[in-house]
Structure 1
């Protein structure tokens, strides 16, 4: 039986810098995330795909491939069994849960690509960029309210796909194309952040790689800073401080940190939090002091991207200090920064308020102030305690430490009753 090469897959691999071996490794890892058992593909498996010898991969492999690429298998040139090649962009008859979970964006991108290739062409202009930036502002606002939600990750991924599809829909100046790539990178970095915040670290790593590639195409130093700074946070949450420091150092080495002290401050504050996780108290204190000095020198009137001005201020610096000192076991200093953070938080920062409140409870419990600690923990938003993975994890840790610190206390019994009535299985 004759076979035709899968030129679509080959083009995607070339554009995204994947060799046969590296794509096999990425898919194997994604199979592991989905099934609990790492896949068994090698470079020859991917070469079979490219050669057309395998026209429709097996179910788990296909879902993993779609997770890695962000595209439906049909949009990658694969043909569902029993279908003619001309119907390759039609969805396969099955719709597994994981396919729906990861591929909202891929479907949108495939549809946009079909529309773009139908012969219609137009001039892409600043109004298109303005529209994308408005959607990005909506993503930022949603993140501040909720944070970590899978829906935010999926919407960000879909909007990144729309931005990339726009590149194929018409002609544009080099400047406008760079702006559109920057928008795509921004959306992908928001998907990355939502995955980090939701403790979906495997997905965050995939978004990180794509965001970094798009940021290079945009040549935008601000979005490069955001992505590498997020990478540092990702590794910190994964308990890998050396990689966290290396990624954050990339962000801090960018020219924008020399031009704008506020960017320098954020890089230093996140560096200090990493030092806290690594147990280096002296370096953490020094970096926090430098972060504060840089913030004090920053011009509040400077023109900055919306993602920066919407979250980084004195409250966020104190939140990062709270994180670092809590990790160091310096509970008194952590509590002081927690109170400063909560006093300065802007009203829209609901996600940040819940995280800081949960951390304050942990800092108070670390000082064996059981009554205030329980009162603080009980003030955490019920919605955040039930639905935000990081907050729920902190409250579970608080619950365990409380029972170890004061197992027979009436306050502990009150907390247990509150947990049962409020969150049940969440804590």
Structure 2
């Protein structure tokens, strides 16, 4: 029998830096995570997958491989075997216990597996259910920011969307929507990790999200992922990489079809230019962002993640970040007041960040009393957000440097002590 080399798996391994041995090790560890007992694969097992000698790995290995890659086996180039209606049993050669494997894999499934032989159609109702869950995830992010619970929940929902691919039949359109939703959930996990300053996790989520998005063909989610990547590199202090990543988002055709996407791309570019000290670049990008926002059709249907946060307030918030990075304190303060005035009340995390930046802009102008009052106005809950707490730590350090003997500095120090008590 002739075999067909699995070029898809080989390409994925090359892209993600896996050799046959290292992928075998990762899959063995994933089997252990699922069942409590490490797998017994080696490099030759993976080479059999790549060569096409094994076209459909055993169930335990397949589930573990999907856990490692974040992709269904069919998306990795494997071809399911045609079987009779009876459910296949694990052979004695499987390196796992059947009961523990079934228990572990069942825990990852959000929907019941249909009875064997009974066709199960995955359609619009399933997509709608996942879209509602995504909307709830976005709402939670705006209230609480980058907590680990949001990151974990987003990854669980991404896995649910991916596993649905192999649990029934679906049209090509529905499959594309499921990949898009899996990418959307993973991008939310990426954003939660960025927001929580867990940058290594954010990079891993970016790799998986961009792979899923490319299979969906959905440019709106591709824009979100690469725009987030630009923000990630900006926070990492790598502005050249930030500009390159944000350019990927800005060069997608969706930015030409819908000016609102173009506006967000320009506004985030301005924030990156601020990190490089490029004042003309900041002003140019902000001008483009405002012009595109003014042109955008406010009533056009858009993804929930974009509608939930982007508008004049967020543009002003990004302008605030850009001018703050430039040391343009007065303009930063003006942007902060505009952003806060237009910010929806449910966006607690964004309000905390904008208020902390307002305090920094006032401090930069030597207005120590107003700066301390502004910083102290941030609720204790918002002060515990990783980004806000980092800003306030920097604020306190700068205040101590500029006015070590000021009563305002003593007031701030006492406030911080009481908050930690």
If the length of structure 2 is used for normalisation, what is the TM-score?
Answer: 0.79
Q: How does 1:129-140 map to 2 (within 5 A)?
A: 129-140=127-138
Match of 2:43 among 42, 47, 54: 47
Deviations 1:18-46 (CA, angstroms, capped at 9, x unpaired): 24981369x89xx9xxxxxxxxxxxxx97
Query: Aligned residue for 2:394?
Result: 397
Conserved in 2, the CA contact under 8 Å of 1:181 and 1:218? yes
Deviations 1:385-418 (CA, angstroms, capped at 9, x unpaired): 12x1111110110111111111111111111111
Query: Aligned residue for 2:57?
Result: none
Given the superposition, is the C-alpha separation of residues 68 and 168 from structure 1 closer, same or farther in structure 2, using an over 3 Å criterion? Answer: closer
Alignment of 1:22 with 2:17, yes or no, is yes
Deviations 1:358-409 (CA, angstroms, capped at 9, x unpaired): 11111111111100000010011211212x1111110110111111111111
Q: How does 1:7-86 map to 2 (within 5 A)?
A: 14=9, 17-19=12-14, 22-23=17-18, 47=43, 50=46, 69=69, 85-86=95-96
Query: Aligned residue for 1:359?
Result: 357
Distance 2:325 2:208 in 1: 31
Alignment of 1:374 with 2:372, yes or no, is yes
Q: 5+ unaligned residues in a row in structure 2: which ranges?
A: 27-40, 49-64, 72-92
Distance 2:355 2:147 in 1: 19
Deviations 1:97-155 (CA, angstroms, capped at 9, x unpaired): xxxxxxxxx96775569947966540011000000000000000000001111100000
Given the superposition, is the C-alpha separation of residues 86 and 415 from structure 1 closer, same or farther in structure 2, using an over 3 Å criterion? Answer: closer
Conserved in 1, the CA contact under 8 Å of 2:109 and 2:160? no
Alignment of 1:163 with 2:161, yes or no, is yes
Match of 1:193 among 186, 191, 194: 191
Distance 1:327 1:365 in 2: 14
Distance 1:231 1:380 in 2: 28
Alignment of 1:323 with 2:333, yes or no, is no
Distance 2:194 2:311 in 1: 21
Distance 1:192 1:215 in 2: 13
Distance 2:378 2:364 in 1: 18
Alignment of 1:410 with 2:410, yes or no, is no
Task: Give the count of matched residue pairs.
Answer: 366
Query: Aligned residue for 1:5?
Result: none
SS state at 1:239 partner: coil
Given the superposition, is the C-alpha separation of residues 114 and 331 from structure 1 closer, same or farther in structure 2, using an over 3 Å criterion? Answer: same
Query: Aligned residue for 1:291?
Result: 289
Given the superposition, is the C-alpha separation of residues 358 and 183 from structure 1 closer, same or farther in structure 2, using an over 3 Å criterion? Answer: same
Alignment of 1:253 with 2:251, yes or no, is yes
Query: Aligned residue for 2:30?
Result: none
Q: How does 1:214-363 map to 2 (within 5 A)?
A: 214-363=212-361
Match of 1:419 among 413, 416, 420: 416
Cα deviation for residue 50 of structure 1 reads 3.6
Conserved in 2, the CA contact under 8 Å of 1:150 and 1:195? yes
Match of 2:100 among 76, 80, 90: 90
Query: Aligned residue for 2:34?
Result: none
Distance 1:115 1:67 in 2: 18
